[in-house]
Amino acid sequence: MLRFVCWLTLLLKLGLICAYRPVFIYHGILTGADSMQHLVKRIQLLHPDTVVYNFDRFGGWSSLENAWHQVLEANTNLQAVCALHPEGINMIGYSQGGLLGRAVLQTYPDHCVRTFISLSSPQAGQFGDDFLHLIFPSLVAKTAYQLFYSYVGQHTSVGNYWNDPHHQDLFDQFSIFLPYVNNRLYSANSTQFRETMMRLRRLVLIGGPDDGVITPWQSSHFSFYNETNDVVPLQESPIYKEDLIGLKTLHDSGRLDVISREGVHHYQWHRTDHVIDSVIIPYLD
């Protein structure tokens, strides 16, 4: 009996049992790892001893760099984490970090992420003045495509996921990022982009109508405007109906959780304890 207890204590000490999986956190645009500290502390309060990797690159203005550049760099960080934790980790991406983080998985065929939590992220792109003015005060959504859908405009992450429902031809022609990671356009990587998503044990999409920045807010659930500015429900969207990146497969196998919360502004998702406690913590095993 004594020996058994000792073994148990040893195992607990080594974290072999009862320990929570490490969490990789990817910050949003124009901020950095610091902005995610509240979430880190809350996770470690409720799940003591959780190892958290709070991605600290591409903070501030460098968060506006080309999306592929950020994704391929972050990929090297995730590879280092997965090498340490082949048993698997969980990942949380906030705002732009949820879109870029998702693309990191898609560029990593044998990634170790089990649960991916997308916290108010523009998964289907962004089209709206409120968001635009945070970064480019003199642009208006209606004409921003003229800048973003150009060689120069594609140097910025925002240009890479700007999705103008009235200029979808130019979106397909110029955007080098979103149409590809969403498999709207076929590429040599399309199969991988889908299979890597289906590796997930769970995909959690969190957003809400009072977000105020992600536009439409349903982009956090992979829904977007059509030409008549109506938001097409996820289950009627091509990305879902045609299972372009495995969302339908994830849903049909009970692995897709689509969550809405009212009354949460964009800057509060990662700082609001009732959100963290009710829709993030329960997914961290």
Ligand X SMILES: *[C@@H]1O[C@H](CO)[C@@H](O)[C@H](O)[C@H]1NC(C)=O
Identified catalytic residue from 211, 220, 221, 223? 211
Adjacent-strand bridge partners of 257: 204
Strand-pair category, 224-225 with 231-232: antiparallel
State the angle between helix axes of 96-106 and 67-84 in degrees (0 to 180), rounded to the nearest 10.
70
Q: Does residue number 284 form part of the binding site for ligand X (CB under 6 A)? A: no
- Return the number of the residue (229 or 278) whose C-beta is nearest ligand X: 229
Catalytic residue among 35, 63, 95, 220: 95
Q: How many residues does the chain have?
A: 285
Instruction: Indicate which single residue of 62, 150, 226, 278 sits in contact with ligand X (rule: CB under 6 A).
Output: 226
Q: Based on C-alpha coordinates, what's the Rg of the chain?
A: 19
**Which residue lies nearer to ligand X by CB, 107 or 175?**
107
The least distance separating ligand X from the CB of residue 231, rounded to whole angstroms, comes to 7
Q: At CA 68, angle to CA 67 and CA 73, rounded to 5?
A: 100
Tell me which amino acid residue 102 is.
Answer: R
Q: Does 120 engage in binding with ligand X (CB under 6 A)?
A: no
Beta strands in 76-213 (DSSP E): 89-94, 113-119, 202-207
Residues 22-61 within binding reach of ligand X (CB under 6 A): none
- Rounded to whole angstroms, the Cα distance separating 198 from 193 reads 9
Question: Among residue numbers 146 through 205, which ones bind ligand X (CB under 6 A)?
Answer: 188-189
Q: Are the C-beta atoms of 90 and 117 separated by less than 8 Å?
A: yes
Sketch the per residue contact string, 56 through 85, with ligand X: x for CB under 6 A, - otherwise: ------------------------------
Using CB under 6 A, which of 17, 228, 254, 262 touches ligand X? 228
Question: Residue 282 and residue 34: Cα distance in Å, rounded?
Answer: 23
Shortest Cβ 154–ligand X spacing (Å): 14
Q: Is position 274 annotated as part of the catalytic site?
A: no
Binding range to ligand X, per CB under 6 A, among 37-45, 158-166, 220-228, 259-267: 220-228
From the list 49, 230, 242, 277, which residue makes contact with ligand X (rule: CB under 6 A)?
230
Phi, psi angle pair for 118, to nearest 5°? -100, 110
**Site residues (CB under 6 A) for ligand X?**
107, 188-189, 226-228, 230, 232
So which residues are the catalytic ones?
95, 211, 266
